Structure 1
Amino acid sequence: MNRKTKFSLSFKEALVKEVVSGSIGSRELSRKHGINDRYLRRLVKNYEDRGSLSHQQGNNIYDKALKVACVLSVIKKRLSLSEAATCFGIPSDSTIVHWMKLYGEFGEEGLETTKVGRSKNMSAPDNNRIKKKKDPLDPQAALQEELEFLRAENAYLKKLSALIQQEKSKAREPKPKRSKN
């Protein structure tokens, strides 16, 4: 399958129960329904570890204490990622991997929960941050802008000319003869 498909919880549970009952293997069942075998095996493992698939939904917000405890249990107690995910009720191992990267870079401060999105109390925009549009009728400003552009163009052409001269001088230099051994 080329694109990611979302399956309903009832469909996932039906697939997992078929595999757990032993009536059909995960590889056969994944081929039958056109889904990834690894994905199905991960669902079965999560079902066996947690007893259900119900808390697999994402977009949870975890507090700093839980994140630190989870990361430290992986580092100090040497829990695997899936064991830690099961222990702390985190749906995906990749979430813990992300936390471990943050912990490695920034320490415990990196695991602080930050609010995402626009603030509720939006203030008026700063006039300092808004660039004033130049008046197209102001001849002095237009001339100043053109002068800056021409100076930059001149500097560019000088550097280009110097590079071309350098290449030509390298080409003129006699190449050392290779000795035959």
Structure 2
Amino acid sequence: MRYNIDFKLKIIAYYRRGHTGVATAKKFKLDKKIVSKWIYQYQNGGIDAIKPKANKTKYSSEFKHQVIMVMLEQGLSQSETALKFNISSPALISHWHKAYRLYGMSGLTPKHKSRGAMSKPMITNKPDNEKSLAELKRENEYLRAEVAYLKKLDALLKAEEQADRKQGSSKR
């Protein structure tokens, strides 16, 4: 459901008068995630960030790539990334990430809808000495992002483990 700008501003004003996000959501019978999204967007982008978009936004392949790299390098969820970049749907980021994993940068370029034959994926099983420099660079960039993501995940898991151990020892 789409909400107009006046309604969103009313929600934000209520929240800014000192009410919690949960209380605001209950008062207006909204999901608390929607309320927190509007508040975050307003705080980070002002009134323009909460205005309904008139048309489908077209994102460049460079922008999509930047979004994916930030998500992987900072270990952000798709929802957090969508909020950070003011993208209306986290599912869109999921789609971009999958396309990037399968086809590299070419997966992020807009495709003209046609009923032609499906193109073959860009990832090949050629030995490294037969791959082009561009393919190797793309693969290297993806692997670097993956390593950064895995390091972040490992750090988060270790921190969680330590917190669990700390909590367990304090109960004794």
Q: TM-score range by the shorter chain?
A: 0.5 to 0.7
Query: Are 2:12 and 1:16 equivalent residues in the alignment?
Result: yes
What TM-score, normalized by structure 1, do the two folds share?
0.51
Return the structure number with greater relative CO, CA threshold 8 A, min gap 6. 2
Q: CA deviation at 1:15?
A: 0.3
2:94 alignment counterpart: 97
- More helix by percentage: 2
Pairwise CA RMSD: 2.8
1:43 alignment counterpart: 38
For residues 11-160 of structure 1, what are the structure 2 equivalents within 5 Å? Answer: 11-22=7-18, 24-52=19-47, 53-54=49-50, 57=53, 59-75=56-72, 77-78=73-74, 80=76, 81=78, 84-85=81-82, 88-116=85-113
2:68–2:97: 8 Å Cα contact kept in structure 1?
Answer: yes
Q: CA deviation at 1:54?
A: 3.8
User: 1:139-173 CA deviation, whole Å, 9 max, x = no partner?
Assistant: xxxxxxxxxxxxxxxxxxxxxxxxxxxxxxxxxxx
Question: Unaligned stretches of 5+ in structure 1?
Answer: 119-181
2:124 alignment counterpart: none
Mapped partners of 1:41, 1:70: distance in 2: 21
User: 1:1-30 CA deviation, whole Å, 9 max, x = no partner?
Assistant: xxxx321111012101221231x2222222
Question: Unaligned stretches of 5+ in structure 2?
Answer: 116-172
Mapped partners of 2:90, 2:56: distance in 1: 14
Distance 1:85-1:27 versus aligned 2 partners, 3 A rule: closer
Give the secondary-structure state (helix, strand or coil) at the position aligned to 1:110. Answer: helix
Mapped partners of 2:105, 2:3: distance in 1: 36
2:2 alignment counterpart: 6
Higher Cα Rg: structure 1 or 2? 1
Give the secondary-structure state (helix, strand or coil) at the position aligned to 2:74. Answer: coil
Aligned length: 112
